[in-house]
Structure 1
Amino acid sequence: MTADVPPPSLAHGSAQPPSRVHDVALLDLDGVLYVGPDAVPGAAAALEQARGAGMRLGFVTNNAARTPQEVAAHLSELGMAADPDDVITSSQAAATVVVDLVGRGAGVLPVGGPGVASALTEAGLRVVHRAEDDPVAVVQGYGRDVGWTQLAEAVVAVRGGARHVATNTDATIPSPRGVLPGNGALVGVVAAVTGQQPLVAGKPAPAMHRECVRRTGAQRPVVVGDRLDTDVEGGRRVGVPTLLVLSGVTTPGTLLAAGPEARPDLVAHDVAGLCHAHPAVEPDADGWRCGAWTATVDDDAVLLSAGDGPPADDLADDLDGLRALCVAHWAAHPDESAAATVRAAEGAAPAVAEALARWGLDGS
């Protein structure tokens, strides 16, 4: 790292718990609060602790199919108190985008689940169901029952001059059966046939988090998510700090390889990271040190060691080593994404190799 390149933002940490620094947490749902039908262990307690520290919560989802009422009911069933007014969906962001474009009262054709039409109506737009009704826009969001008929209607409307607005372009969605087509796959069908790319409202587009800030009145928000390409990148696009949790899809290897647009400010095992401080990563000789851990870039690899600090039994469970690795690797690649080869430094304590194996960074 050269002297004129500032350290990655992860290096700064947070001397106070984020719940005491930020007034609102903008929380992604799947992978952060629940995975499939089940709550992430400890998530409900962490949210209550954050609330107890004075933090307000906004529940943010790119999934346009469900209404805020349905999302709030689901969270409440999982033990996480939520009011519909606390929920912000990509359908709502898309509706705001359309109102800004054409004004209230305009006719709009919804494609997707009930959440799409509901958001349009809430925003003061007039829902129509056929291309022959001359909609000025088509808003396309995820819906399990979307099929050829709706897609064909959207194509005719867009080819007739309607503006194509996508709630989000996530290509896939997770399911107990594995990866399934997401809204982005079906948006691609309409775009391919019409030859027009849609205006996108959901994460990582700025419209989504601007909608979150508008609805929550946040002054010092923090985005909490498990995805680099939507949550972290979306937060960075609007200048909002981000906390990445490792309870969802992002792995330590993926995090290390992140480009500058997708590097979080903080990282934690799960949403309980809102409730504790995050250590800084400091320059240390030729490397970077976080707690007992030191990471050094050596030719084509990043070497990790652990010295004085926590007992060896605690080292394998701590993320300080991962923080040091990220800062060292990102400082060496400030302007580009790059896969990282990670090894235990020569003579490193056994706990270092155990930690690398735990994080999937040992090549196994």
Structure 2
Amino acid sequence: MTTPPSTAVETLRRARAWVLDVDGCLMRTARAGGAGGEAMPGAGSLLTALRRAGHSVVVCTNASQRPPREYAAHLRGKGIDVADEDFVTAGSAAAEYIAAHHAGARVLVVGDDGVREPLLRLGFDPVKPGGPELGDVVVVGAAAGYTAELLNAACLAVDAGAPLYTTVETPWFHGGLAKSVAVSATIAHAIGWATGTRPHVLGKPSASLAETLLRRLPAEPDEIAVVGDATAEIGLARAMGATSALVLSGATTPEKLATLHGAHRPDVVLRDVAELYDLLSESLPTT
């Protein structure tokens, strides 16, 4: 069991808003967004206790293939009571960012409903590949497959000046069971290679996601804690000005932790979310 410094524990106990990772943190899974996985011990109890205490909670994943409502429903089925509106994917965060920065743009989605549905909900009508008009914005999310026509349309749009966004940049996914390639990052960099453009990341650990989450959470940065199993959550916490809590139940091993220094090292290290729940349970007020 880890032994966090007392000052770090007190910092966590002062938090009133939380960003909680899914894969390797709340869920043990081999597929992004908790799909097909099982809840980590203490995950459901932690969310219930935070909600009863009146804290704000966002469950945030870099998954982007399916809409937030589908991932949230799966977690609820595993005993983790998260509302659809409190579940943020890299796909839905990308849609929010595009709405804030490219209102009225013609958006070409290189992905699945995980990006397309949030854009539709925000009033966008994504363009179809092969049509007479190029997209003003190209955004890449996860999908089971990508057609040559779609990739060509994306490359033509970016080559003509459209910004290229990707939901994630990390090459690998790790949810506590096994790793697999992050297909959206791979596709985005392929488009970037063809067009001489570097994709702009809208998921973890980007400043763009930090901006989106800070708009959502009714708390000052020093009242927010970001909890996850990877360096992506540490980077996100730094971008938000929040406290970083790393759990050793997923992508980060004790050996990898030992290589993290300075701003790349988390503020608090915990065995898992069950340990976090134990640390917080006595101090959480009930409403």
Q: Shorter-chain TM-score: which interval?
A: 0.7 to 0.9
Q: Secondary structure of 1:127's partner?
A: coil
Q: Write the distance in 1 (CA, Å) between the matches of 2:265 and 2:6.
A: 13
- The aligned residue for residue 274 of structure 2 is 272
* TM-score, length basis structure 1: 0.68
State whether structure 2 residue 32 is matched by structure 1 residue 33. Answer: no
Counterpart pick for 2:243 among 234, 237, 241? 241
Please state how far the C-alpha of 1:32 moved relative to its aligned partner: 0.5
User: Quick check: 1:16–1:276 contact (8 Å CA) kept in 2?
Assistant: no
Paired residues for 1:146-225 under 5 Å: 146-174=146-174, 178-219=179-220, 220-225=223-228
Greater relative contact order, per chain length (Cα 8 Å cut-off, separation 6+): 2
Matched letter for residue 62 of structure 2: N
Please state how far the C-alpha of 1:177 moved relative to its aligned partner: 6.9
- The aligned residue for residue 332 of structure 1 is none
Aligned residues: 266
Deviation by residue 1:138-188 (Cα, 9 ceiling, x = unmatched):
111111223433222211221122211112112122486752343211111
Question: RMSD value over aligned CA atoms?
Answer: 2.2
Q: Write the distance in 2 (CA, Å) between the matches of 1:45 and 1:88.
A: 20
User: Quick check: 2:134–2:156 contact (8 Å CA) kept in 1?
Assistant: no
Q: Write the distance in 2 (CA, Å) between the matches of 1:239 and 1:86.
A: 21
> Which entry has the higher C-alpha Rg, 1 or 2?
1
- The aligned residue for residue 138 of structure 2 is 138
Q: Write the distance in 2 (CA, Å) between the matches of 1:115 and 1:66.
A: 4
Matched letter for residue 33 of structure 1: L
Could you tell me which runs of 5 or more consecutive residues in structure 2 were left unpaired when the two chains were aligned. Answer: 30-36, 281-287
Deviates more, 1:88-97 or 1:57-66: 88-97
Paired residues for 1:1-364 under 5 Å: 13-16=7-10, 18=12, 20-36=13-29, 37-103=37-103, 105-130=104-129, 132-174=132-174, 178-219=179-220, 220-228=223-231, 230-277=232-279
Q: Write the distance in 2 (CA, Å) between the matches of 1:135 and 1:148.
A: 16
Q: Write the distance in 1 (CA, Å) between the matches of 2:83 and 2:9.
A: 31
User: Quick check: 2:174–2:251 contact (8 Å CA) kept in 1?
Assistant: no
What is the identity percentage for the equivalent residue pairs of Structure 1 and Structure 2? 31
User: Quick check: 1:31–1:248 contact (8 Å CA) kept in 2?
Assistant: yes
Q: Secondary structure of 1:126's partner?
A: coil
- The aligned residue for residue 6 of structure 1 is none
- The aligned residue for residue 298 of structure 1 is none
Task: Call closer, same or farther: CA 1:155–1:15 in 2, change over 3 Å.
Answer: closer
Please state how far the C-alpha of 1:190 moved relative to its aligned partner: 0.5
Q: Write the distance in 2 (CA, Å) between the matches of 1:34 and 1:25.
A: 16
Matched letter for residue 274 of structure 1: L
Q: Write the distance in 2 (CA, Å) between the matches of 1:177 and 1:47.
A: 25
Task: Call closer, same or farther: CA 1:237–1:181 in 2, change over 3 Å.
Answer: closer
Deviation by residue 1:73-129 (Cα, 9 ceiling, x = unmatched):
0110111111111011222322233234332x2210001121111122223323111
Q: Write the distance in 1 (CA, Å) between the matches of 2:9 and 2:181.
A: 41
Q: Secondary structure of 2:8's partner?
A: coil
